[in-house]
Structure 1
Amino acid sequence: MRTEIIKLLKKEGKLSEDAIDEIKKVDILDFSSIVQEIGKQETEYIKSSEISKELNTEYIGQNIFVYNEVSSTNTVAKFLSMNEIDNGTVIISEKQTNARGRSGKAWESPLGGVWLSIILNPNVDHSKLPLITLATGVAVAKTLEKLGVENPEIKWPNDIMINGKKVCGILTEAVAKFNTIENVIIGVGIDANLNVEDFPEELQVGTTTLKEELGRTGNENLLIKTFLEEFEIISELFNQGGYEEILKEWRKRSYTIGKIVEVRTPFNKYYDGYVVGIGKEGALIVEKIDGTLEKVISGECIIKN
């Protein structure tokens, strides 16, 4: 994190080469105010003033930082969360240079996409973190529906699909101290005003963009504003313990239930199965070939043709 924050400060002309060695002797958190100051400067495409205008939320997005380029909005969000920062603060970047998805996979983030992270201070147990990811997926899907996308679906645990192709990914990370969750960082990447050809060739298969699906260039600021409003609605439902309602909305849009999949767990355990449903804690319920049921709490599901 230190290296990535230093790169941001250097790129914005806040540090000279000579100053970098001196910084190693200083608590990097001392630079939080400078990082926040950079995030309040004018940017070319994403405009916090347009997002904030008539934004119908109580706390989500009431504090917004927008950057021209960062390594990862989740990294900047985690850094800022270590100081006193408002619940619901949003970090946005027009471009990311070292973003990552689940399991540390690289996430391509060129200009034209929507790359943002939300800082939450929820009073939750670790067991509820999967539900936060599912709730975010519902918020993204509802946002796309409002913008004219027909039948967006959610692939467990963190992808949004249009016509069987991925258009959005979600990465939820907890900032914990002594086994207590202090903050939750929710990263969202939406392939908005991009062409599939903008991505490396190996990522083009199975990927789509809002521009290609809707046949037009959209308003990125409106997309972000709509998402923040939908996210606050689902966040409040989560805070009130409305987990079953969240799961109901998720199931309605599930791309995974009813499919034959290959499950890949974090412990390199692979097996095929049929997705029966999703449990109340957000775990995928898979019927294995031998007829036994398995709860998949974390891992990856590869849909098999």
Structure 2
Amino acid sequence: MKDEIIKLLKIEGQLSSETIDEIKQIDIHDFSNLVQEIGKRETDYIKASEISENMNTKYVGKELFVFKEVSSTNTVARFLSMHDVPDGSVVISEKQTAARGRSGKAWESPLGGVWLSIVLNPHVDYSKLPLITLATGVAVAKTLEKIGVENPEIKWPNDIMINGKKVCGILTEAITKLNTIENVIIGVGIDANLDIEEFPEELKAGTTTLEKELGRKGSENLLIKMFLEEFEEVSELFDNEGFEEILKEWRKRSYSIGKIVEVREPFNKTYDAYVLGISREGALVVEKIDGTLEKVISGECIIKN
């Protein structure tokens, strides 16, 4: 984390190459105020003022930190969460240079996308953590429906799909202490106004963008504003233990239920299965080839043709 924060400061012209070695000897926590100050500066494309204008939230997005370029918004959000930023604070960047998805996979994050992370203090048991990812997926899907996307679907555990192609990824990271969740960082990346032809070859076939699906460019600032409003609604449901309502909304938009998948669990445990549904804990319920039932708590499910 220290190297990434130093890189951010260097990009913003706060550090010269000659001072990097000296700076590395300083406690990284001493940079908190400077990082927050940079996050309040005017940026070229993402405008905090446009996002905040008439935004109907009580706490989510009331504190916005917007950057021109970071390695990963989750990294910056995690750093700021250690320095008492308010619940619901949001870190946004116009570009990410080293974003990552689930299992450490790289995530392309050029200009034209929505790259943000939310700092959340959910005050829930660790076992409920998977439901936060599902709730975020519901918020993204509802946002896309509002801007005209027909039938956005949620692929367990963290992808939003349009016509069978990925348009959004979600990465949830918990900051824990003695088995207690202190903060949760929820990273969201939406391929908004991007040219699919500029993507690496290995990503083109399975990826789409909002511009391609809608046939027009949209405002990233308006999209962020609408998403933060939807996110606060599902977040309040979560805080009030409205888990059944979240799961109901998730099931209505499920891309995974009813499909044959290859399940890839940690420690190279791989098998084919049929997806039956989702449990109250947010685990995927599958039927294996031998007829046994399994709950998949973490891992990845590859849809098989």
- The interval holding the TM-score normalised by the smaller chain is over 0.9
CA shift for structure 1 position 179: 2.2
TM-score normalised per structure 2: 0.99
**Structure 1 CA distance for aligned equivalents of residues 267 and 145 of structure 2:** 36
Runs of 5+ unmatched residues, structure 2? none
Quote the residue 2:10 is aligned against: 10
Which whole-Å deviations, capped at 9, do the CAs of 1:47-88 have from their partners, x for residues lacking one? Answer: 000000000000000000110000000000000001111000
Report what 2:104 is aligned to.
Answer: 104
Q: Distance in 1 between matches of 2:302 and 2:17?
A: 46
Q: Per-residue displacement from partner, 1:222-263 (whole Å, max 9, x unpaired)? A: 100000000000000000000010000000000000000000
RMSD: 0.7
What does 1:35-46 align with in structure 2 at a 5 Å threshold?
Answer: 35-46=35-46
Aligned residue in 2 for 1:217: 217
Q: Deviations over 1:188-218 (max 9, x none)?
A: 0000001111211111011000000000000
Tell me the distance in 2 between the aligned counterparts of 1:58 and 1:44: 27
- The within-5 A match list for 1:149-164 is 149-164=149-164
Q: Give 3-state SS (helix, strand or coil) of 2:33's partner.
A: helix
SS in 1 for 2:273: strand
SS at match of 2:96: coil
The CA deviation at 1:126 is 1.4
For residues 25 and 113 of structure 2, what CA distance do their matches in structure 1 show? 37
CA drift of 1:19 comes to: 2.4
**Partners of 1:213 and 1:24 in 2: how far apart?**
45
Q: Give the partner amino acid of 1:239.
A: D
**Corresponding position of 2:300:** 300
Describe the SS at the equivalent of 2:59.
coil
Structure 2 match to 1:274:
274
Question: 1: CA distance between counterparts of 2:198 and 2:219?
Answer: 19
Q: How does 1:21-32 map to 2 (within 5 A)?
A: 21-32=21-32
Q: Structure 2 counterpart of 1:222, which letter?
A: L
| In 2, Cα distance between equivalents of 1:196 and 1:27 | 41
Q: Which amino acid aligns with 2:184?
A: V
TM-score (norm 1): 0.99
The letter for the 2-side match of 1:56 is N
SS in 2 for 1:94: strand
In structure 2, the CA distance between the partners of 1:19 and 1:178, relative to structure 1 (3 Å rule), is farther
The residue aligned with 1:178 is 178
CA drift of 1:295 comes to 0.3
Q: Which amino acid aligns with 2:215?
A: G
Q: 1:83 maps to which residue?
A: 83
